[in-house]
């Protein structure tokens, strides 16, 4: 089931985020993620996939800057099409906020890179840290 998250879902969303195999958070990134998550819970929406009585994945867009802030699936639930089902919800939030395109970044050589390429995202550059910048028309 896909639904909007509530603040009560935050602990499980954090568990899913910390369980991922790729794009693991550094200690320096945790505070930034928490700060942005606070803003999103107050002003936007996390979309969650609930299965087997718990959240197993989530997608979230940041309508301040037109980015996909996160798309993470618990490792035990990968490969089931959950990300393909959640991502359009986050993109729709960006469209509703007035954006004509969405942007995101990810590390090269990852499953995430392959996923975005296979789902119509176009590489438009690289950040200084080597991350790929992807964009997609909404």
Sheet of 54-62, strand order: 2-4, 46-51, 54-62, 67-73, 101-106, 132-137, 122-126
Tens-digit pLDDT string for the chain (138 aa) = 999 999 999 889 988 988 887 776 666 666 676 677 787 778 788 899 999 999 999 999 999 999 998 999 999 999 999 999 999 999 999 999 999 999 999 999 999 999 999 999 999 999 999 999 999 999
pLDDT for 30 equals 64
Determine the Cα–Cα distance for residues 86 and 119; give it in Å rounded to an integer. 13
Task: Give me the phi and psi of 28, to 5 degrees please.
Answer: -65, -25
The whole-angstrom distance between residue 129's C-alpha and the CA centroid of its chain comes to: 19
Domain spanning 2-99: CATH superfamily: Gcn5-related N-acetyltransferase (GNAT) (3.40.630.30)
The angle, 0 to 180 degrees and rounded to 10, between the axes of the packed helices 27-43 and 10-19 is 140
Determine the Cα–Cα distance for residues 23 and 36; give it in Å rounded to an integer. 17
Determine the Cα–Cα distance for residues 125 and 83; give it in Å rounded to an integer. 23
pLDDT for 26 equals 65
């Amino acid at each position: 089931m896909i639904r909007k998250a509530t603040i009560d879902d935050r602990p499980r969303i954090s568990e899913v985020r910390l369980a991922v195999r790729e794009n693991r958070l550094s200690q320096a990134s945790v505070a930034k993620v928490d700060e942005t998550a606070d803003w999103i819970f107050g002003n936007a929406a996390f979309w969650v996939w609930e299965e087997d009585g718990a959240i197993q994945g989530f997608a979230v867009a940041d309508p301040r800057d037109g980015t996909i802030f996160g798309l993470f699936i618990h490792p035990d639930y990968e490969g089931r099409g959950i990300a393909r089902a959640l991502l359009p919800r986050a993109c729709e939030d960006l469209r509703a906020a007035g954006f004509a395109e969405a942007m995101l970044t990810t590390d090269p050589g990852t499953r995430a890179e392959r996923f975005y390429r296979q789902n119509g995202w176009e590489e438009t550059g690289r950040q200084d840290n080597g991350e790929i910048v992807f964009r997609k028309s909404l």
